[in-house]
């Protein structure tokens, strides 16, 4: 576990300000990944792997689980936090459809930083886009960051 800490650059509270952007993350889910996610999560709703069922349900085809897209936003945050930070809250609203075999482009930025109960906190805005530029998931996170002090 310490290897990751040594090889990754730790972000500190002093390094960020409102507007600071997180390094982006691009994912490309396949139908196979959705099947793996269905198995790992127990969510076997057929709209996520049965194209005929999805189309009969009025969808354009198999769609990505909202929770899987939110997992990508979670990775965006935890990659950035490194070993020294902690994720306290994560939320996402599923506003649009992510299809398989399309990029999901994940982004985030700091909305504000503040100290509460002696902790160095930041509120983040997160979003995932499809290739058409539509925000399919919008979310927020609250994180704590280590201090250089």
Partner 1 sequence: MSEASAVTPELEALLNVDLGPDVYEIEKGMLRRFAEAIDDPNPRWLQQAPPTFPAALVPTGLLHRLFNAPCPLTRLLNGASELEYFHPIEAGDTIAVTGRLTRLRQVAGKEGPSLFMFTEVTYTNQKGEVAVKGKNTYIRY
108 touches partner 1 (CB under 8 A):
no
Residue with smaller CB distance to partner 1, 20 or 33: 33
Minimum Å gap between C-beta 109 and partner 1 is: 18
* Helix, strand or coil, per DSSP, at residue 146: coil
Which of 36, 101, 112, 134 binds partner 1 (CB under 8 A)? It is 36
Which of 12, 31, 33, 109 binds partner 1 (CB under 8 A)? It is 33
101 touches partner 1 (CB under 8 A):
no
Question: Which residues touch 18 (CB under 8 Å, ≥6 apart)?
Answer: 110, 111, 112, 113
111 touches partner 1 (CB under 8 A):
no
- Pick out residues in 55-94 that bind partner 1 (CB under 8 A): 57-58, 65-68, 70-72, 74-75, 77-79, 83, 86-94
Measured distance CA(34)–CA(134) in Å, rounded: 21
Which residue do the tokens 């576990």 mark?
Answer: 1
Interface contacts to partner 1, rule CB under 8 A:
1, 3-4, 27, 29, 33, 36-37, 39-43, 45, 57-58, 65-68, 70-72, 74-75, 77-79, 83, 86-94
């Amino acid at each position: 576990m310490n290897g990751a800490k040594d090889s990754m650059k730790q972000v500190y509270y002093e390094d960020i300000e409102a507007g600071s952007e997180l390094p982006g993350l691009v994912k490309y889910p396949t139908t196979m990944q959705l099947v793996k996610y269905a198995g790992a999560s127990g969510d076997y709703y057929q709209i996520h792997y049965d194209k005929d069922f999805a189309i009969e349900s009025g969808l354009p085809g198999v769609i990505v689980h909202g929770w899987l897209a939110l997992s990508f936003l979670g990775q965006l945050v935890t990659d950035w936090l490194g070993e020294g930070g902690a994720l306290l809250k994560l939320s996402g609203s599923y506003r649009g459809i992510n299809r398989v075999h399309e990029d999901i482009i994940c982004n985030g930025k700091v909305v504000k930083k503040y100290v509460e109960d002696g902790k160095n906190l930041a509120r983040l805005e997160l979003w995932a886009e499809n290739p058409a530029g539509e925000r399919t998931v919008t979310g927020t996170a609250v994180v704590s960051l280590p201090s250089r002090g």
